[in-house]
Structure 1
């Protein structure tokens, strides 16, 4: 297991470097001057502009600035925002918790309903229940986030008044979580269904039934542990996607978070903030995939045997 973790971490390093380099290079191409952003339209002499460029390090070549950025990240220094003059680390610390709350709420909704619909469809494939569940999850997954979010606001917030639209606390998290979770429900339920059907057709399941084991025991002890490996893998990827791509849901529901911060920073060409968000999202994506791999190793002993060879 230690050898597997070491190799996984080593493989993650090139991914991080390439991603950060691409974002850095992209911002060098986009038109605009960060000095103008910091001045906010105020007139300034060429000497003042040059001094500000030197303070920001913009007078150095791009490769030198990128290497300096990597060194600062290694020390935990993410720089200072061009737009607000605040430390980027403080801005991230203020915006990460709302995004994690939204991702956790969406995950709860997605796992709960995805597992329920997937089990109902997979245990009786080809029947009426299978058809209804598959139709519902397909319809939910087909709705874009912005459309489902506006629909939820109109129906449950304006018409029925069942959930608050703009407020604080758990109540304000209900509608955004449903909107974000619909993306997870579709893929999770369909993968559980197909995995259940495939696992139920294996020889060892037929043997267990022939021995007269109780159907519930067969489902819990034999079918689910083997059928859950592909859905768990998908769930880790979707959770990472939800954390990194919450910008649509956050903007629809006027919530603070990483997505809202990223949009504002991209429009303002606030490079330190954008780089910090990329550092955060890529790191979260790689960490979550590593945790999913470890969870799959715990569920399926065969993977541990393969790593030991």
Structure 2
């Protein structure tokens, strides 16, 4: 009698591993392709948008309209930089340079764009990341208060979140300078390169974003608190704080994590105003000066680096969402 074939107990495990690996590869490929499409779209938009600004880029290269450059000098510069070529030829040439990592040379500063961005990027990233952390802390704090404090706390926190999300950066920055610097003398009015000089810029950027994150998180918390699993936990004698930490927070954080990429992009755009108000070096001030001077390579470089940072943060937010929600790991 022939003995029965041994059962391959590893097959289900191997199948699950292959499925997880396939899902991870599909997710990674999708994010890489999506990131490349975003960078291409940004480069294309910047290329055509900056050429709609009145003025001749050749004059910007020679120092602006005040340089009183001759027609011969302008014609020579246009030929040297390829500005006399058809617009489509210029566009394709720029895409080719960007594909090789060549960001070009700044028209106004006469130095490589890549080096300039490496100098300015750390300050802006520090400002944006610190602001995102503070915004999340404020959002979770107000959401916790709204959940545990009853109807009055929920109504007050909702009002504060709506007001915070509508506050303009320049107005909040001005109020903070008048209050904390001019009146109380607690903080320096401009960036000094010290932790004290970082406080007001971080708060200015964090408060509006915290308003949006707080609204989303609070609504998710209230929905989760009414779900059957929360009702069962309360029936088992779970305390209100324990219910918040062990059951509600994970469910409430998912919509906020999905919005973290948008929040980071909002912080990068807000850095233009905040860095100018507080005289803080960074990509925001660099971009503002480059647009004013029609410095096409520098504008393109700043926009691409900002878009790349946004793509990376969105991917990290998706990873965090997959880690918090097991249902996302199978997709």
Asked whether the two chains share a fold, i.e. TM above 0.5, the reply is: yes
Structure with larger Rg = 2
Structure 1 distance, partners of 2:241, 2:145, is: 14
Query: Match of 1:109?
Result: 134
User: Which is further off, 49-58 or 227-236?
Assistant: 49-58
Matched, 1:285 2:310: yes
Q: In the alignment, what sits opposite 2:299?
A: 274
On the 8 A contact 2:46/2:300 being kept in 1, the answer is yes
More deviation, 26-35/81-90: 26-35
User: What SS class does the counterpart of residue 29 from structure 1 fall into?
Assistant: coil
Q: Name which of 22, 38, 43 aligns with 2:61.
A: 38
State the shift of 1:103 in Å: 1.0
Structure 2 residues not aligned, in runs of 5+: 1-23
Which residue, out of 87, 94, 100, partners 2:112?
87
Output the CA distance in 1 between the equivalents of 2:157 and 2:67.
60
Residue matched to 1:191: 216
| TM-score between the two structures when normalised by the length of structure 1 | 0.92
How far does residue 216 in structure 1 lie from its aligned partner after superposition?
A: 4.1
Structure 1 residues 184, 36: CA separation in 2 closer, same or farther (over 3 Å shift)? same
SS in 2 for 1:164: coil
Mean alpha-carbon deviation: is it higher for 204-213 or for 21-30?
204-213
Matched, 1:26 2:76: no
Answer yes or no: is 1:298 the counterpart of 2:304: no
In 1: Cα distance, 2:67 partner to 2:177 partner: 41
Alignment RMSD, CA only?
A: 1.8
2:153 is aligned to: 129
Aligned residue pair count: 305
| 1:106 and 1:178 in contact (8 A); partners too | yes
Output aligned runs, 1:203-222, within 5 Å: 203-222=228-247
Match of 2:168 in 1: 144
Q: Does 1:175 align with 2:200?
A: yes
**Structure 1 residue 43 displacement after superposition:** 4.8
d(CA) in 1 for partners of 2:230, 2:105: 59
Q: Which runs of 5+ in 1 are unaligned?
A: none
Cα distance in 2 between the residues matched to 1:55 and 1:99 = 33
The 1:212–1:17 alpha-carbon spacing in structure 2 relative to 1, beyond 3 Å, is same
Once the two structures are superposed, residues 138-168 of structure 1 have per-residue CA deviations (whole angstroms, 9 ceiling, x without a partner) of 3332221100000000000000011111222
Provide the secondary structure at the position in 1 that maps to 2:105.
coil
> Could you say which residue in structure 2 is the equivalent of 1:153?
177
